[in-house]
Amino acid sequence: MDITPAPSPAAGRVFLVGAGPGDPELLTLKALRLLSEADAVVYDSLVSPDVLGKTRPDCERVFAGKKAGVPGCTQPEIDAMLIALARQGKRVVRLKGGDPFIFGRGGEEAAALVAAGVPFEVVPGVTSALAAAAYAGIPLTHRSHSSAVVLLTGHEDPSKPDASVHWEDFARIGATLCIYMGMRNLEAIADRLLAGGMSAETPAALVQSATTGEHRTVLATLGTLASRAREEGVKAPAMVIVGEVAALSRDLSWFENSITASCSI
């Protein structure tokens, strides 16, 4: 499908909107308004049904999700879809789990819209690292434990000779590491961090389905991270947090404690 600039009889616009981590109450007010006004919503697999339910009954909903190992829309197909809908004069919400510019390919879609002459806006969302950590009771920065946070993707095979993430380097900087899409390569990532000199006793956490009814936190150390994930059956979507602050979850895990308390009443 042609995505070069073309005149349009109606003024369509695309909004690249962050849907947050799952809990609809974590949507921004602007995201909520745009969902209620949208003519079409193109959404990802991590967008919760509760969030999608904020659209109008007559809103066109288009699934454009991708999962590892499962056929889905290619990025060029998604770009072309957004452009085509906008050229029909529609207000289009491109709805992404978390934040569109944090491992969400929002930058690629924005560039395609610019090339096609389609006006767009970006609406930030609560990204998974911040939400998972907060709901697990893990302060990503702490004056006594960590003064830096690094957001990393674990999607890429760490064994590739030309891998873009040099895990050994991040093992030595003393920051809290938040690893998106890291479950499939978890053991290899842990091995690379250990090879870089990070202690096997470094606290770590796995936060699955953060902020939703399926939210749970599994605590471990870097040395036991992969085995704990297998034992507990942790599956994607899950955030991997490695650093001294992860141990604070034992005392600060307010969300799971509140669920336990409500169930016991």
Instruction: Give the up-direction half-sphere exposure of residue 122: CA atoms within 13 A in the CB hemisphere.
Output: 16
* The pLDDT value given to residue 172: 95
Residues 139, 114 within the same domain: no
Q: Can you say whether residue 117 is alpha, beta or left, with left for phi > 0 and alpha for psi between -120 and 50 degrees?
A: left
Residues 175, 229 within the same domain: yes
67 belongs to the catalytic site: no
* The pLDDT value given to residue 188: 96
Q: Tokens 């879809």 sit at which residue?
A: 81
Residues 134, 102 within the same domain: no
Query: What range does the domain containing 133 cover?
Result: 129-258
In sign, the C-alpha dihedral spanning 20, 26, 29, 34 is positive
178 phi/psi in degrees, rounded to 5: -115, 115
Which one is catalytic: 2, 23, 39, 44? Answer: 44
CA distance 167 to 175: 13
Structural domain count of the chain: 2
Sequence-distant (6+) residues with CB within 8 A of 202 are 221, 222, 242, 243, 244
Residues 97, 143 within the same domain: no
Q: What is the pLDDT along the chain (265 residues), one digit of tens a residue?
A: 455 554 444 579 999 999 999 999 999 999 999 999 999 999 999 999 999 999 999 999 999 987 655 567 899 999 999 999 999 999 999 999 999 999 999 999 999 999 999 999 999 999 999 999 999 999 999 999 999 999 999 998 887 778 889 999 999 999 999 999 999 999 999 999 999 999 999 999 999 999 999 999 999 999 999 999 999 999 999 999 999 999 999 999 999 877 665 555 5
Last residue of a domain, one of 126, 155, 174: 126
- The CATH number given to whatever domain includes residue 170 is 3.30.950.10
16 phi/psi in degrees, rounded to 5: -85, 105
Residues 133, 77 within the same domain: no
Asked if 98 contacts 20 with a C-beta cutoff of 8 angstroms, the reply is yes
Nearest to 80 by CA among 34, 115, 46, 35: 115
Which one is catalytic: 30, 54, 58, 66? Answer: 66
**39 in a structural domain:** yes
Token output for 182: 């890291």
* The pLDDT value given to residue 8: 43
* The pLDDT value given to residue 194: 98
44 belongs to the catalytic site: yes
Buried b (16+ CB within 10 A) or exposed e, 185-200: bbebbbbbbbeeebee
